[in-house]
Amino acid sequence: MDSRFASEKVIEEFESLTKNAKRVQIETLQKILKENGEAEYLKKWNLDGRFDPQTYSSCVPVVTHKDLEPYIQKIADGASHPVLTGKAITTITLSSGTTQGKPKEFPIDNGKALSFIYGSKQFTTKGGLLAGTATTNVYRSAQFKKTMRAMQTPCCSPDEVIFGPDFHQSLYCHLLCGLIFHEEIQVISSTFAHSIVHSFRTFELVWEELCSDIRNGVLSAKITVPSIRTAMGKVLTPNPELADKIHRKCLGLTDWNGLIHEVFPNCKYIYGIMTGSMEMYLKKLRHYAGKVRLLSADYGSSEGWIGANVNPNMPPERTTYAVLPNIGYFEFLPLREIDMASRDQDEPDFTFCPVEPKPVGLTDVQIGEELGDVVKVIGFHNATPELQFVCRRNLMLTINIDKNTEKDLQLSVEAAAKLLAAEKLEVVDFTSHVDIASEPGHYVIFWEVSGEASDKVLKECCNCLDKSFVDAGYVSSRKVKAIGPLELRVLRRGTFQKILDHYVGLGSALNQFKTPRCVTPVNHRVLQILCDNVAKSYISTTFG
């Protein structure tokens, strides 16, 4: 029996489901409610055996993660009765997940994947359940390995590397395995684009040592984890010819442009989440990729899977996701702004925030509408909506009546970063902070730059950052000095690595790490790392 991934069958099923999205949604809701009707959470809403969308919407309110925390705690403590689901819960997932899939346009033929994946530690709750990050739970599952074998893209790294206790050592060995199997690598992937860029920035630093390991067949002494050394001993043998080949290719590159295409000649695409906050890393990823295509992963969240990237030929910035109507029952919150002219003058400033009307069903959303998360409806695939990711919904930067989102911050940084091109430099990473300790409060943007930029250029960058925030509330507040001049703080090299190390030390998995784009005083340790590593500081003169 052929155990390979049946892509044509999957596509056929997907087309059928999306053509009948409304019916599938009703059937999915009924299935969910019937299977979980005896759970404590659902019983409290008195559905009385009615499983239609109208009853569900009128009886069950919109909930947040915080609303569910008491129920999750009961499960972790070993509650003997159904709490949230009618089925037994065996594992608790702590954060966002990973991605799997094989688009029809990018077939794989008996290759391997260079997957920068890492499994963090699992622990046991009071009630005896295993808990860990989503990626850890997935990578430890037998189904994950079975699926990757069926798709003919098994990870080139041994399990001992994936689940190693030191991610620095695991990353080094991922790169080494990738080089050993360089002609077999057909996919390079990680959960987020950030992790892929981070991996090849590391390659720039260690490539000669990797070549030495391959030449001599001896693993670097800096790899000290016994299980990793034993596992790598089974794949690493002396190969001077391969070492010389890779060495020549690396020396022949100009500023590492086209690294992936040159070193992994049969790589068909690079796969990971590349939308939202990950767009910032696309320029560098394209630099490394050369001719290799970038493919943005499908759309998921902490709650579950949402949509599939049905147009993989589109550049990541234009990726759209067709919602999967059978994977869950969906309700969306259309976002609309309050008309400032009609606002009661006695109402506080927070009424400028988006208004959330009643939730609407999957097939009732309108083209052009923005929905909570934030996503935009750009069309329909058959009868299911196609969504484009816009930004995380939370207001990132606000002091007065200003409202600047993650997307606004990203656009401002991109505009200012172009000024570094004259000195052949780039922004390695960035974050922000609202400083209200001073009067008036002001925005602080933290940059890590790839080299030493001149004071003249950095001053221009600071001014460009300030004027690139075009929100009317921000501009008017700056003009009347209700918000102070923006401050650009340039960090020492390696600062964001220290922040990454901090989060990994707290139990995060490297491939799930996302740089926080706004650091509040609550996150005092990260703010301290940033402030302790400031090399230079500049104050905007944009508004005089």
For residue 198 the two structure tokens come to 């981070």
Q: Are residues 282 and 151 in the same domain?
A: yes
Q: Mind giving me the DSSP string for 255-323?
A: TTTTHHHHHSTT--EEEEE-SGGGGGGHHHHHHHHTTSEEEEPPEEETTEEEEEES-TTS-GGG--EEE
Residue 448 lies in a domain: yes
Which amino acid appears at position 475 of this protein? V
User: Residue 375 in contact with residue 390, Cβ under 8 Å?
Assistant: yes
Q: Are residues 372 and 491 in the same domain?
A: no
* 388/374 Cα distance (integer angstroms): 9
- Dihedrals φ, ψ of 295, to 5°? -125, 115
pLDDT in tens, 68-85: 778 777 766 667 678 777
Evaluate whether residue 347 is within a structural domain. no
Residue 2: predicted pLDDT: 52
Nearest-angstrom CA–CA distance, 376 and 385: 10
Do 124 and 49 lie in one domain? The reply is no
* CA pseudo-torsion sign 143, 145, 146, 148: positive
For residue 186 the two structure tokens come to 């057909």
Distance set, CA 73 to CA 82, 230, 358 (Å): 13, 40, 29
**Are 385 and 484 in a shared domain?**
no
What local confidence, expressed as pLDDT, does residue 237 receive?
Answer: 96
Q: Are residues 332 and 268 in the same domain?
A: no
pTM: 0.77
Same domain, 49 and 174: no
Q: Give the pLDDT score at 353.
A: 44
List C-alpha distances in Å: 65 to 121, 133, 174, 303, 339. Answer: 23, 16, 35, 9, 30
The helix (run of H) or strand (run of E) holding residue 186 is strand 185-192
Whether residue 486 sits in one domain with residue 462: yes
What is the predicted pLDDT for the residue at 3?
A: 53
Q: Return the pLDDT at 385.
A: 92
Give the integer Cα–Cα distance in Å for 260 and 282: 14
CA gap 524, 357 in Å, rounded: 36
Instruction: Assess if residue 83 is contained within a domain.
Output: no
Q: Are 384 and 425 within one domain?
A: no
80 lies in a domain?
Answer: no
Give Cα separations from 350 to 171, 346, 355, 357, 400 (angstroms).
Answer: 45, 12, 11, 16, 10
Residue 141's pLDDT is 58
In a domain, 519, yes or no: yes
Name the helix (H) or strand (E) containing 189. Answer: strand 185-192
The token pair that represents 245 in the structure block: 């080949």
Q: What letters, b where the CB count within 10 A reaches 16 and e where it falls short, cover 399-428?
A: bbbbbbbbbbbbbbbeebbebbeebebbbb
- 290 and 439 in a single domain? The answer is no
Q: Do 279 and 149 belong to one domain?
A: yes
Query: Is 500 domain-assigned?
Result: yes
Q: What is the pLDDT of residue 236?
A: 96
Q: pLDDT tens for residues 457-484?
A: 999 999 999 999 988 889 988 998 889 9
Residue matched to tokens 């995380």: 392
Parts of the chain with a pLDDT under 70: 1-6, 65, 75-78, 80, 89-109, 120-153, 302-303, 336-357, 391-395, 508-509, 511
> What is the Cα–Cα distance from 522 to 302, expressed in whole angstroms?
22
pLDDT at 394: 61
Distance CA 360, CA 22 (A): 12
Does residue 226 share a domain with residue 195?
Answer: yes
Report how many domains make up the chain. Answer: 3
Provide the token pair at 305.
Answer: 């899977």
Domain that includes residue 489, residue range? 406-539
Position 468 in a domain:
yes
